[in-house]
Amino acid sequence: MKLGIVADEIDRDIRTAVKIGGTLGLRRYEIRNLPSGRVPLCDPAELREVEEVMRQAEAGITAISPGLFKLTETARDFRIQMADLYPRAAELAHRWGLPGLIVFGFHKPGATEANAAAIDGTNPPREVIDCLAEAAERAGRDSLFLMLEPEPICWAENARSTAALIRRIGSPYLKINYDPGNDAWLLNRDPIGDLDAAAPFIANVHIKDLRPLTQGAGHPEWVPAGEGMIDYRSHFERLRASGFDGSYSLEPHLDGKPETIRRCKEAVERAWLAGGSSHSGTV
């Protein structure tokens, strides 16, 4: 299992994050937020520090998430991001030897964490389809692909709707950053039934879990894998059966303390090994 972590889930300071991660046996990191901001819109010195820390720790960068299209609603917003944020993110992906970017599927107008499930994301406007198709074409020209992360507030709101969106656009440069925790947040259930629809497109996986939404979606209670509503053993079994061999990244949404990260890592390892009786390989 290629297990890593979103670095700022430990600490925005990359040196601190990698030091703590290293003591727990983690050597793979997604880069999202640094002290001065979200990549690539941060202090260039921090980007150089990421490179130096990774070199010293003999660690690797598995992905970057620049936040593209998460709050984008209109074609005008899209043009601004494609003129400024996208080129800088693409340049950083090339600099760090990454195959693509984690992005989002445009914001559903009026959607918040609390009400996102009440705003149907199954029929995105034509403008959203056209913009994502254009972004995918641009990524293809840049020898990159875009990994859409399902997010309740976005038109690409869960794995099933994201897969349908990709099929509708028909671009080989669109893939999925699969996050069953985000799906469960929207659906208030284990989304295992939606995995098969998404499986052909999955290029990266985020791991977090949450308890049933007894206080509503605006108050999610995040927990380590296996302590909430998601059966990660079954998810890992199906991902392996589908042929997925990419990166898994912890994204706990907890306190970042070493003991918390250890608890999350060990929970994932248990689920992985519990479902491994018919599969070869180790964590």
User: Taking the CB of residue 236, how many other CB atoms lie within 10 A of it?
Assistant: 24
Q: Which CATH superfamily is domain 65-250 in?
A: Divalent-metal-dependent TIM barrel enzymes (3.20.20.150)
In the block, which residue shows the tokens 């507030």?
153
Question: What would the pLDDT profile of 78-126 be if each residue is shown by its tens digit?
Answer: 999 999 999 999 999 999 999 999 999 999 999 999 999 999 999 999 9
**pLDDT score recorded for residue 278:** 45
Q: What H or E segment, with its residue span, contains residue 202? A: strand 202-207
Instruction: Give the bridge partners for 100, in sequence order.
Output: 145
Residue pair 3/265 in contact by the 8 Å Cβ criterion: yes
**pLDDT tens per residue across span 50-71:** 999 999 999 999 999 999 999 9
Query: Do residues 145 and 179 touch, judged by C-beta distance below 8 A?
Result: no
Q: Could you list the pLDDT tens digit for every one of the 283 residues in the chain?
A: 999 999 999 999 999 999 999 999 999 999 999 999 999 999 999 999 999 999 999 999 999 999 999 999 999 999 999 999 999 999 999 999 999 999 999 999 999 999 999 999 999 999 999 999 999 999 999 999 999 999 999 999 999 999 999 999 999 999 999 999 999 999 999 999 999 999 999 999 999 999 999 999 999 999 999 999 999 999 999 999 999 999 999 999 999 999 999 999 999 999 999 876 444 444 5
User: Which residue ranges make up each domain of the chain?
Assistant: 65-250
